[in-house]
């Protein structure tokens, strides 16, 4: 529809630049309640789906490295399926497919979840995003865990620590510095990927912008305006990401120096000057 209206516009006015500056500025800087509502959905859907993805991914990664072959197979199957099929298909599968499969309306129009009154489509969207994200996080967390020196696990075991304690207190905290940079990229992706929820009628910002286009035919202004919103979100997130990585990166740099020449020159028997721990922090 957007394409048809755009070509009609070009036919009527000839090939001259069409840009309604005041509409655009108004759209961006005086956002409608609908756009603000959409922004809220985009943000909380991203955060919830990412958090759930990290949790799912952690369990999947641990299952994938378990001794039990059934757990390993389940993790492998999960990652294989959800990384190997399009998110859009998974979204439809969850929202339209599963209620049909189970014969129950899993995602009714209105859903009361504790204090929150959510639309079923939003819930279905978050569920699909979470499951999909979990599959990617599984691989990231697995790589992080494998990056930790096996001697750490042995030391923890030799002290009588159980598997759970070893993971929680010793391995995962150290895996974090390998996990966090790609995790930041995943969240950057997630902020943008929520736009797919528009196809199941979730009123996130892209859907609101699309509706503005339909109502006004100001296609470029509406889509460019919403693009700037995504850009603002990802830019703000990049700032956070840099801060987080710098904090984790400092301790990483310290560890890497342990066996390096710097440690031998400066680390023997006295406190290291703080500057020496800084280079190489973050990415």
Partner 1 sequence: MTHIEEGILATLGVEEQPSDQVVVVEATDVGKWFGRLHVLKDVSLTVRRREVVVIIGPSGSGKTTLIRCINHLEKIQRGRILVNGHLIGYRERDGLLREDSERNIAHQRREIGMVFQRFNLFPHMTALANVIEAPIRVRRVPEDDAVATARTLLERVGLGHKANAYPSQLSGGQQQRVAIARALAMKPALMLFDEPTSALDPEMIGEVLEVMKELAREGMTMIVVTHEMGFAREVADRVVMMDEGQIIEEGTPEHFFRDPSHPRTKAFMSKIL
Q: Does residue 72 bind partner 1 (CB under 8 A)? A: no
The answer to whether the beta carbons of residues 209 and 222 sit under 8 Å apart is: yes
Q: Which is nearer to partner 1, 181 or 267 (CB)?
A: 267
CA distances from 10 to 14, 17, 18, 216, 220 (A): 5, 10, 9, 15, 13
149 belongs to the binding site for partner 1 (CB under 8 A): yes
Q: Which of residues 166-205 bind partner 1 (CB under 8 A)?
A: 169-170, 173-174
CB of 153 to partner 1, least distance (A): 9
CA-CA distance, 141 to 145, in Å (whole number)?
Answer: 6
To partner 1, the closest distance from the beta carbon of 170 in angstroms equals 6
Q: Which is closer to partner 1, CB of 66 or CB of 74?
A: 66
Nearest Cα neighbor of 202 from 76, 49, 86 is 49
Q: Which of residues 74-133 bind partner 1 (CB under 8 A)?
A: none
- In angstroms, give the least distance from the CB of 78 to partner 1: 24
157 binds partner 1 per the rule CB under 8 A: yes
Distance, CA of 243 to CA of 265 (rounded, Å): 29
**Burial grade of 243 (CB within 10 A; 0-12, 13-18, 19 or more):** exposed
Task: Choose between 13 and 158: whose C-beta lies nearer to partner 1.
Answer: 158
The answer to whether the Cα torsion of 104, 96, 188, 43 is positive or negative is negative
Q: Rule CB under 8 A: say whether 268 interacts with partner 1.
A: yes
Contact set for partner 1, span 242-261 (CB under 8 A): 251, 254-255, 257-258
Q: Does 265 bind partner 1 (CB under 8 A)?
A: no
Cβ nearer to partner 1, comparing 105 with 154: 154
Exactly one of 5, 18, 98, 152 binds partner 1 (CB under 8 A); that residue is 152
Q: Is the dihedral of CA 79, 182, 51, 118 positive or negative?
A: negative
Q: Provide the minimum distance between the beta carbon of 63 and partner 1 in the complex, in angstroms, as a whole number.
A: 15
280 scored as a contact of partner 1 (CB under 8 A): no
- The residue within the footprint of partner 1, chosen from 160, 261, 273, 274 (CB under 8 A), is 160
Rounded to an integer, what distance in angstroms lies between the CA atom of residue 180 and that of residue 98?
33
How many residues of this chain bind partner 1 (CB under 8 A)? 29
Read off φ and ψ for residue 213, nearest 5 degrees.
-60, -45
What one-character-per-residue DSSP string does 146-203 give? Answer: HHS-HHHHHHHHHTT--HHHIIIIIIHHHHHHHHHHHHHHHHHHHHHHGGGGGGGT--
34 scored as a contact of partner 1 (CB under 8 A): no
Q: Which stretch binds partner 1 (CB under 8 A): 80-88, 194-202, 215-223, 268-276?
A: 268-276
CA diameter of the chain: 81
- Contact of 243 with 182, CB cutoff 8 Å: no
- Residues 64 and 140: their CA atoms lie apart, in Å, by 12
Q: Is 267 in the site for partner 1 (CB under 8 A)?
A: yes
- Name which of 221 and 257 has its Cβ closer to partner 1: 257
* Interacting residue ranges for partner 1, rule: CB under 8 A: 149, 151-152, 154-163, 165, 169-170, 173-174, 251, 254-255, 257-258, 263, 267-269, 271-272
């Amino acid at each position: 529809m957007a394409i048809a209206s755009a070509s009609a516009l070009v036919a009527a006015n000839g090939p001259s630049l069409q840009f309604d500056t005041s509409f655009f500025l108004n759209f961006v800087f005086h956002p409608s309640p609908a756009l603000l509502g959409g922004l809220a959905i985009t943000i909380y859907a991203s955060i919830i789906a990412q958090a759930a993805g990290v949790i799912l991914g952690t369990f999947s990664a641990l299952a994938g490295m378990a001794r039990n072959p059934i757990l390993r197979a389940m993790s492998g199957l999960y990652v294989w399926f959800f990384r190997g099929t399009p998110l859009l298909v998974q979204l439809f599968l969850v929202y339209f497919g599963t209620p049909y499969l189970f014969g129950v309306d899993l995602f009714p129009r209105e859903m009361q979840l504790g204090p929150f009154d959510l639309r079923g489509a939003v819930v279905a969207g978050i569920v699909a995003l979470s499951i999909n994200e979990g599959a990617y996080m599984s691989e990231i967390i697995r790589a992080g865990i494998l990056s930790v020196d096996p001697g750490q696990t042995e030391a923890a075991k030799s002290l009588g620590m159980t598997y759970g304690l070893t993971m929680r207190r010793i391995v995962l905290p150290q895996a974090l510095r390998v996990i966090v940079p790609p995790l930041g990229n995943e969240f950057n992706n997630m902020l943008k990927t929520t736009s797919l929820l528009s196809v199941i009628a979730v009123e996130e910002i892209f859907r609101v912008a699309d509706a503005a286009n339909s109502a006004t035919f100001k296609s470029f202004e509406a889509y460019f305006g919403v693009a700037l919103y995504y850009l603002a979100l990802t830019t703000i997130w990049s700032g956070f990401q840099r801060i987080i990585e710098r904090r984790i990166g400092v301790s990483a740099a310290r560890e890497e120096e342990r066996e390096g020449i710097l440690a031998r020159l400066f680390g023997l028997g006295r406190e290291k000057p703080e500057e020496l721990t800084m280079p190489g922090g973050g990415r």
